[in-house]
């Protein structure tokens, strides 16, 4: 597991000099960005203080080895490709009315939308070598090529829902992966905020390390968290897949998503399937 920080800041001569003292070379003007692996960089503790002091933007992500991925019982499905915006009328968030029941939705925190109609896309996705996508704004749904659903998801009883264009015609190369079940995750220690308008809770996105552990074993091979994550007016559930689905995604080399292992409740528990892979990522 590697913890990667993407640091960005508006540079100056002072910033350039301070970073040079920490062994990092940047320009002396304009926006500068650099990546740091916190376990490999010996200057990380000093740099961490510097980030606080200078209020630099620090976006944390975690990279897992193939071995770690294939040894995990459950994993978060993490989007790597966002294809356009949900339709219609993306200038005015028309997809909310078109695809959701909004009776329980709070416009302040974003919690409570319930899908009640197919998603609409402008056109067939430009898939290239990828097999799964997410739409911008809709961070709790995944869409796949029919062949990917057939090989990876269908064997585990996962449904596939049509996607239509703005005229209501069904698209041929994409469908929605249906995630019906919701499960609780362990939320102890997760920073949260309570909405002032509706009183509901959501958790700040967890970018570092493994995703939080499950409370109970899920009943199906793909589930959503019942907890919402996000900040401001955005709130989304997270999609989790079992080892069997993750294994199929890796074997089929499906592009457009990555996998992030969940923490285990009992560390001594052994994975349900063993796999003798190597450490190299493909």
Whats the size of the chain, residue-wise? Answer: 282
Closest approach of Zn ion to the CB of residue 232, in Å? 11
**Where does this chain touch Zn ion (CB under 5 A) — which range of 67-75, 100-108, 135-143, 202-210?**
100-108
Q: Which is nearer to Zn ion, 164 or 195 (CB)?
A: 195
Residues that bind Zn ion (rule: CB under 5 A) add up to a total of 6
Burial bucket for residue 225 (CB in 10 Å: 0-12, 13-18, 19+) = buried
Site for Zn ion (CB under 5 A): which residue of 106, 178, 190, 213? Answer: 106
Site membership for Zn ion, residue 197 (CB under 5 A): yes
**Where does this chain touch Zn ion (CB under 5 A) — which range of 70-78, 96-104, 188-196, 211-219?**
188-196
Site for Zn ion (CB under 5 A): which residue of 51, 198, 234, 264? Answer: 198
What is the spatial distance between Cα 254 and Cα 270, in angstroms, rounded to a whole number? 26
Q: Say if residues 240 and 223 touch (Cβ distance below 8 Å).
A: yes
Exposure string over 39-77, b if 16+ CB within 10 A, otherwise e: eebeebeebeebbeeeebebeeebebebebbbbbbbbbb
Site membership for Zn ion, residue 234 (CB under 5 A): no
Cβ-proximal residues to 259 (8 Å cutoff; 6+ apart), any chain: 64, 69, 72, 75, 76, 77, 78, 241, 246, 249, 250
**Where does this chain touch Zn ion (CB under 5 A) — which range of 8-16, 70-78, 99-107, 153-161?**
99-107
Site membership for Zn ion, residue 71 (CB under 5 A): no
Cβ-proximal residues to 276 (8 Å cutoff; 6+ apart), any chain: none
**Where does this chain touch Zn ion (CB under 5 A) — which range of 26-34, 174-182, 198-206, 246-254?**
198-206
Q: Which is nearer to Zn ion, 112 or 209 (CB)?
A: 112
Binding site for Zn ion (CB under 5 A): 106, 108-109, 195, 197-198
């Amino acid at each position: 597991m590697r913890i990667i920080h993407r640091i960005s800041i508006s540079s100056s001569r002072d910033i350039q000099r301070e970073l040079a003292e920490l062994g990092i070379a940047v320009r002396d003007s304009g926006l500068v960005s650099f990546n740091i692996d916190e376990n490999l960089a010996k200057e990380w503790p000093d740099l961490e203080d510097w980030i606080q002091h200078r209020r630099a933007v620090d976006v944390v992500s975690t990279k897992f080895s193939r071995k770690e991925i294939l040894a995990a019982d459950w994993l978060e499905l993490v989007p790597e490709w966002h294809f356009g915006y949900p339709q219609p009328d993306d200038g005015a968030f028309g997809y909310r009315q078109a695809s959701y029941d909004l009776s329980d939705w709070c416009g302040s925190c974003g919690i409570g939308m319930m899908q009640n109609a197919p998603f609409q896309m402008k056109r067939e996705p430009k898939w290239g070598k990828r097999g799964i996508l997410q739409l911008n704004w809709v961070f709790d749904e995944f869409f796949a090529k029919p062949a990917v659903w057939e090989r990876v998801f269908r064997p585990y009883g996962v449904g596939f829902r049509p996607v239509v264009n703005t005229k209501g015609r069904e698209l041929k190369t994409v469908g929605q992966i249906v995630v019906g079940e919701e499960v609780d995750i362990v939320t102890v220690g997760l920073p949260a905020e309570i909405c002032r308008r509706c009183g509901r809770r959501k958790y700040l996105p967890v970018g570092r390390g493994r995703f939080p552990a499950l409370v109970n074993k899920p009943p199906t091979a793909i589930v959503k968290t019942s907890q919402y994550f996000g900040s401001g007016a955005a709130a989304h559930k997270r999609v989790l897949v079992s080892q069997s689905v993750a294994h199929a995604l890796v074997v089929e080399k499906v592009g457009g998503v990555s996998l992030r292992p969940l923490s285990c409740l009992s560390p001594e528990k052994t994975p349900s399937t063993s796999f003798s892979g190597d450490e190299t990522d493909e």
